[in-house]
Structure 1
Amino acid sequence: MNAILLLCVVGFVAAQQPQPCVTPQQWEANLFDYSEPNRFMVRGRLSYDATNHRERLLEEVEVGNDREYYDVIALFDLQTEFIYNYKAHNCSRQPLTRPWRDFGIRPDARSFGEAYIGTSALPGLGLLVTMWGTNHTTPSNDTVRTFGTWTYRACLPVSFISHSTQMGRTQSSFFDIVAGISDPNVFIPRPECLTAKEYAMRDTIFGTPAKKFTK
């Protein structure tokens, strides 16, 4: 009898534990990014595809008094990044070594409760968010500590902070989020970034999902 009661209590407590919501796999948003180790700020428009591990960022980078403007396509499954420099009018292709940034809530994340950004005193004056944090180890044996806030409804990311020994501390904030990808060709690099053969086969190589290509 006591064993049955104990199981009932444990089941009741487990049922009370908050469960992470599920962030949409594809969305677009205005982004503000700050990297503490490098002391640079990034503002731009992000297209985010968690299904195929792809990012497209039209960005303005500010380092001190210098500003640069880039069009960056990061294809994590292909481990390749294309960077178009608007000032120099050229494109570079380089290996992608940084880990994929998943802006969803990890299944093992710990809940830090809910709160209003603004106020709950009157309707329409605040945004209810849910807060989660976790630690995890990357394949390169780097321990990453994260803390983020997501909207209570729709589970859209609002802010995301991560800290690790290798990458330092970064903070991201998101605004004007739209679910889905507005342009299906957004992850196709510019002609300047590709060979003639690659550009002719761009829909096949960089479609959904992206496929490996020969250099």
Structure 2
Amino acid sequence: MFAVLAFCLVAFVAAQTPRPCTTPPQWESNIFDHNQQQKFTVRGRLSYDAAYRRERMVEEVIIGSTDDAFDVIALFDSNTEYVYDFKHHNCSRRKIDRRWRDFGIRPDATSFGEAYIGSSAAPGLGLLVTLWGGNHTTPSNDTVRTFGTWTMRGCLPVRHISHSAQYGRTETSFFDITAGISDPNVFIPRRECLTEKEYAMRDILFGTPTKIEKK
């Protein structure tokens, strides 16, 4: 009898263990990014595509007293990003020197429960979110501590904080998220960023890839 009771208790505890929800792979959002140690602030509109590891950010970047604006398309699978400078009206192409930012919940994250942003006193006064965090080590052996909040309904990112000895503390907030990618051409670089041949083939080179289904 005791063995049966113990088994039921273990099963009940396992059933209560929170599991990370799954963030949609494609969405767009206004974003605010700030790092005190690196002394930069970024705000703009992000188009995010985790399915094909690419993102586009039309952004204003403030570093110290310098204020610039860029249109950045980062294609992580080809390790290339295109940066259009609104101030100087030119475009540069370079290799990506940063890791892909996955704004979903890490599979090994620890749950810190649920909370309301605002109030739960009455309907419409608050937003129910789920809280997750943890530590992980990057390929460069940098230990990163993370903490984030996602909406309980839809699993959309609300806020993400990371801290490491190499980069300091970075805090990212998301606003006005919309599901999917509104413009299918959003990941095609500007004409100034491409050669004539590349621009003529832009839909083939930079359009949404077609997944080949396994038979």
Counterparts of 1:195 and 1:46, CA distance in 2: 25
Counterparts of 1:65 and 1:169, CA distance in 2: 20
1:49-128 equivalences in 2 (<5 Å): 49-128=49-128
Which residue number corresponds to residue 138 of structure 1?
Answer: 138
TM-score (norm 2): 0.93
* Range moving further from structure 2, 21-30 or 64-73: 64-73
Aligned-pair distance for 1:107?
1.3
Moved over 6 A (4+): none
1:77-106 residue CA offsets vs partner (Å, 9 max, x unmatched): 111111100010000111102011110011
Which residue number corresponds to residue 164 of structure 1?
Answer: 164
Q: Give 1:82's aligned amino acid.
A: Y
**Aligned partner of residue 163 in structure 1, secondary structure:** strand
Q: Is the 8 A contact 2:129 2:150 kept in 1?
A: yes
**Aligned partner of residue 78 in structure 2, secondary structure:** coil
Over the residues paired in the alignment, what is the CA RMSD in angstroms? 1.5
> What is the aligned-residue identity percentage?
70
Count of residues in Structure 1 that have an aligned counterpart in Structure 2: 210
Counterparts of 1:41 and 1:125, CA distance in 2: 30
Aligned-pair distance for 1:4?
4.4
Counterparts of 2:80 and 2:167, CA distance in 1: 19
Q: Give 1:38's aligned amino acid.
A: Q
Which residue number corresponds to residue 32 of structure 2?
Answer: 32
**Aligned partner of residue 8 in structure 1, secondary structure:** helix
The unaligned stretches of length 5 or more in structure 1 are 211-215
1:5-57 residue CA offsets vs partner (Å, 9 max, x unmatched): 43332221111111111111000000000022211111100000011111100
Q: 1:27 to 1:16 in 2, by over 3 A?
A: same
Q: 1:97 to 1:64 in 2, by over 3 A?
A: closer
Q: Give 2:121's aligned amino acid.
A: A
Q: Give 1:113's aligned amino acid.
A: G
Counterparts of 1:191 and 1:122, CA distance in 2: 51
Q: Give 1:139's aligned amino acid.
A: P
Q: Give 1:90's aligned amino acid.
A: N
Q: Give 1:194's aligned amino acid.
A: L
Counterparts of 1:202 and 1:131, CA distance in 2: 41
